Each structure stands twice: as C-alpha cells, then as structure tokens.
A and B are shown apart, each in its own frame.
Chain A
Amino acid sequence: MRLMDVKVIIDAVEKMCIQANIQLGMDVVKALKESIEKENSPIGREIMEKLLRNAEIAVEQDMPICQDTGMAVFFIEVGQEIQFTGGNLTEAINEGVRRGYREGYLRKSVVLDPLQRKNSGDNTPAIIHYDIVPGNQIKIIFAPKGFGSENMSAIKMLNPSDGEKGVLAFVEETVFKAGPNPCPPIVVGVGIGGTMEKAALLAKRALTREIGSSNENEYYQALEKKLLQKVNNLGIGPQGLGGNTTALAVHVEAFPTHIAGLPVAVNINCHAARHVEVTL
C-alpha cells in the first residue's frame, strides 16, 4: 500500500487549472497550423491566425485563452494500492480547483443550483469521474469545459438497425445545428454504445484525447475519418463564417451495448479543447 498525502493532489490540481486555461495545447496549435494550410476561406484563415495570436497573448500576459474557463471536469484513475492520508480525495480536488481558479484569476462560472442560480463563487463543485485501476499511481486528467460548446451537444438512442449510417447522420445533424455557436473550429467527441450515461461519458472522454490521435481500433479509425470529412463538408468553417475547417478533429470511443440499443452521444468542444494530465 502506498500512502499519499492529499496535499499533493491539491497542489497538482491547482497547477493544472491554471495551465490548462492559459496555455493552448501544443496539439491544438499543430492542428490549427495544419488547418490554415488547407483552409479555402480567407476569413477562415484569418480567424485561425488570430486564434494562434490569441494563444501567444494569453501566455505573454498570463491571461486565460478564453473568458469561459469552464466547469472543472476531471477523469481520475486511482490505483487501488494507494491509501490517501490527510483528508478526503474529492474534497482535495475541489480545494485544488478553488485555489487554481482564485490564484489564476480564472472565471467562476458555476451556480450552486441549476434553477436558483446563485454563483458558488469559487468554481466548485468539480465534476469528477473516478475509475479504480490496478497499481499504486493516480492519473488525473483535467478538461475545463466551456458551455458555448457544451450547450450544442446532444444524445440520441438510435435503433440497432440505424447502424453506422444513423451515427453519421446524427453527428452531422448535431454539428449542423450547432453552426457558429460553439466557436468553430470545434473538436467533436462521439461516444457510441453502453447505456445513455455511458455514451455521454465516452463522448466527453474522447475530448481528452490528443487532438488528431486515432482510435486504436481500425474500424473506428475509418469512422473518425468519415465523420471528419462529413462535418467539414458542412461549410460552417471557423466561427461559422464559411470554410472547410468546421472541426479540427472527430474522436470516437465505443463500448459494448445492449441487443436492443445503439446510444450515441455527441459532445462538442471549442477550438481550445483544453485538457491536461498528470500521473502521480
């Protein structure tokens, strides 16, 4: 059994909150540069150049890439041979968020109740998804999620007979309806299978992959390519002002499902596609 003081977690989470919100990921920078080369629309190219410039200014001036520094979403893989000391793990993560959002001058965007809507003042509570895994390490993935893009996400319970064609059509329709709202160029996370909530989680998790990385399975690699093509054929383009870069990437994750069902979730992310991870 490895003992781990939760202070280590608090410190790590505080740093991750600030880093993810201020430094645009290198994977996104690379994807934007490649897209500029391929973009037909002059306005589209100019917008992506400005997004790259924005990323430089954010670092130079120590300012968030985007004012919507998101709800703090975590995927945490906890090795079952760790015993935490000095406090409670979930509370430690929330304390890290509290400190990161305060010290990093990040926006507090969380209301304590969805209908009564009073701001919690410190961006907590975080949304935390835990997995228990073998080993004595803890992997923390932090992906702050803005709601311009979150609001454009959708889930649908397809019929098994709808098959791949049904998935393609649903993803296309969801991105089309989103139009300029989620700050394209977007990253699209698609979760297929499981149950309703599992599909949504897969879609969210797909957004934490390195931009442009492929699914490990050959079938899904091909599906990701088809989906990216379909989405970019919509013509929405950067900021919805036309072009062939509507999405930087489409990431698909799949899971076994029930004989009667084909759940599909589409989680849309803005260009910043913020995600950082650390293993302790």
Chain B
Amino acid sequence: MATRKIHTPLTEEEVRKLKAGDTVYLSGTIYTGRDAAHQRIIAALDRGEPLPFEIRNSVIYYVGPSPAKPGQVIGSAGPTTSGRMDDLTVPLLERGLRGMIGKGTRSQKVVEAMKKHCSVYFAAIGGAGALIANAITKAEGVAYEDLGPEAVTMLEVEDFPMIVVIDCEGTNLYETERKKYAKMDGDLLE
C-alpha cells in the first residue's frame, strides 16, 4: 500500500502502477459528472454528438458541490454514491475513461470493463466535503449548466486525496478489508 502522487491526463501506464489500497494525491484537471450529466453524455454519444470534454485519459469525479460563496472557489465537494452511475459507465470506459472518483460499490459489469480497458476507481472520503474543497483550486462550468449542482464542471485540483479501491486488475479493497475485521457467524452472505 504505497503513497503516490499522480497527474492528469492519466495514462494507461500510470494506472497499471496503482494498486488497491494505495493512497493517492491527484493534481491536474478533472471533470464532475453525476446522474443527470451521465444521462446527457450517454444520449450525446448515442446521437453521435460531441462530448463536453475529451474522455480518453480523463478522470470523472462523481460530485454535486454546494454553491460557492463569494470569494470561495467551490462549496463543499465530497463524493456521491458511484453505483448510481454504473449502468451509464461502460460506454465511457470503452472510450478510454481512465479514472473515476466516488464512494461505494461498483457493479461487476463496471469492474470487468475497468479490467478490459484499464481504468481505476478511487474513493474520496464521503462526508468530508469541506476538507476536499480545499484541494480544488479552480472550478469552471463546461456543460449542462441548467442542471445546477449536476452540471459538468472542470476542476483544477492539487493533491486531491483519494484511496485506490478497485485497481485495473479488479482487486477490490472494500472486499479484502471488510473480511479482515468481520466477526460474523457466517450465516450472512459471503
């Protein structure tokens, strides 16, 4: 479990070095996108329309920040539950989406596509939105601004703190760590 500093654009070579359990500090440009934005991106793909940003080697952050006060870059900006985007994620992985930042479990389909196309899933600390906001140095709307907190925003980040939860080999930290601490009778679900 190493500590690494990485930058965007995130290359396949870099992603292959990241292992589940690594602490990672990310700098560069990432894009926000959650439920409604994913629906629009997928609809745009289906219609062959241009996307709000270059997907290849990019990192999407599942977040809907609170509004910035005057003088602030952004409001509170912690991760939202990633699983809601699962059904809309594979087409993006097929186009080279290299990293996803969120919290919570991913579907088997997403994990398989991550392995196939070499992508990594990071967790940011859910509920630490104020702390995380301090790693964001710039926020600029790029698309779907009518969606309010769900609009696609470009974020410049500096040493954005994350943990690798699922690496591109499919190793899943949620599964491996929980078992170390479980004290169950064994009748519940493996």
**Chain A residues within CB distance 8 Å of chain B:** 40-41, 43, 47, 50-51, 53-55, 57-58, 61-69, 105-109, 117, 119, 121, 148, 151, 172-173, 176, 179-181, 183, 233-237, 239-244, 270-272
Q: Are A117 and B36 in touch, CB under 8 angstroms? A: yes
B103 and A65 within 8 A (CB): no
Which residues of B68-112 have CB atoms within 8 Å of chain A's CB atoms?
68-69, 72, 75-78, 80-81, 83, 103-105
Decide: A107 and B65 in contact? CB cutoff 8 A. yes
Contact of B127 among A51, A109, A117, A242 (CB under 8 A): A51
A18 to B149, CA, bound (A): 18
Convert B129-148 into 0s and 1s, putting 1 for each residue whose CB lies closer than 8 angstroms to a CB of A.
Answer: 11101100000000000011
Beyond A54-B130, A107-B65, A272-B127, whether A63 also contacts B178 by CB under 8 A is no
Known contacts: A53-B131, A67-B77, A148-B80. The answer to whether A183 contacts B69 by CB under 8 A is no
Flag if A105 contacts B66 (CB, 8 Å): yes
Write out the residue numbers on chain B whose beta carbons fall within 8 Å of the beta carbon of A50. 125, 128, 131
B18 at the interface (CB under 8 A from A): no
A242 cross-chain contacts in B, Cβ below 8 A = 177-181
Instruction: Supply 17 A–B pairs (Cβ within 8 Å), ascending by A.
Output: A41-B180, A63-B75, A64-B130, A65-B76, A67-B66, A67-B77, A107-B64, A107-B66, A148-B80, A173-B189, A180-B105, A235-B178, A235-B180, A239-B103, A241-B123, A242-B177, A243-B181
A181–B68 alpha-carbon span in the complex (Å): 26
B75 / chain A contacts, CB cutoff of 8 Å:
63-64, 67, 105, 107
- Of A151, A173, A180, A244, which is within 8 A of B103 by CB? A180
Known: A121-B148, A233-B184. A180 touches B130 (CB 8 A): no
Q: How far is the CA of A173 from the CA of B126 in the complex (A)?
A: 22
Does A237 lie within 8 Å of B178, measured CB to CB? Answer: yes
Q: Which residues of B contact A234 (CB under 8 A)?
A: 178, 182, 184, 188
Q: Which chain B residues border A43 with CB–CB below 8 Å? A: 163, 177
Given contacts A58-B76, A61-B72, A105-B68, contact A240 B174 (CB under 8 A): yes
Q: Which residues of B contact A (CB under 8 A)?
A: 36, 63-69, 72, 75-78, 80-81, 83, 103-105, 123, 125-131, 133-134, 147-149, 163, 165, 173-174, 177-184, 188-189
A41 to B77, CA, bound (A): 26
Chain A contacts of B105 at CB under 8 A?
179-181, 240
Closest 7 CB pairs of A and B: A242-B177, A235-B182, A183-B126, A235-B181, A181-B104, A107-B66, A54-B131
The reply to whether B125 and A51 form a contact with Cβ atoms under 8 Å apart is yes
Tell me the complex Cα distance, A242–B131, Å.
22
A40–B126 CB distance below 8 A: no
**Further pairs besides A40-B181, A64-B76, A121-B148: 13, Cβ < 8 Å:** A41-B180, A50-B125, A50-B131, A54-B127, A63-B75, A67-B65, A67-B77, A105-B66, A107-B64, A108-B148, A235-B179, A239-B103, A241-B163
CB atoms of B126 and A270 under 8 A apart:
yes
- Point out the residues of chain B lying under 8 angstroms from A62, CB to CB: 69
Q: How far is the CA of A272 from the CA of B126 in the complex (A)?
A: 10
B178: nearest chain-A partner, CB-CB: A235
Q: Are A108 and B104 in contact (CB under 8 A)?
A: no
Q: A50-B125, A54-B129 are in contact. Are A67 and B83 (CB under 8 A)?
A: no
Give Cα A179–Cα B66 distance, bound, in whole angstroms. 25
In the complex, the answer to whether A65 meets B180 with C-beta atoms within 8 Å is: no
- Complex Cα distance A55/B145, Å? 29
CA distance A65 to B125 in the complex (A): 12
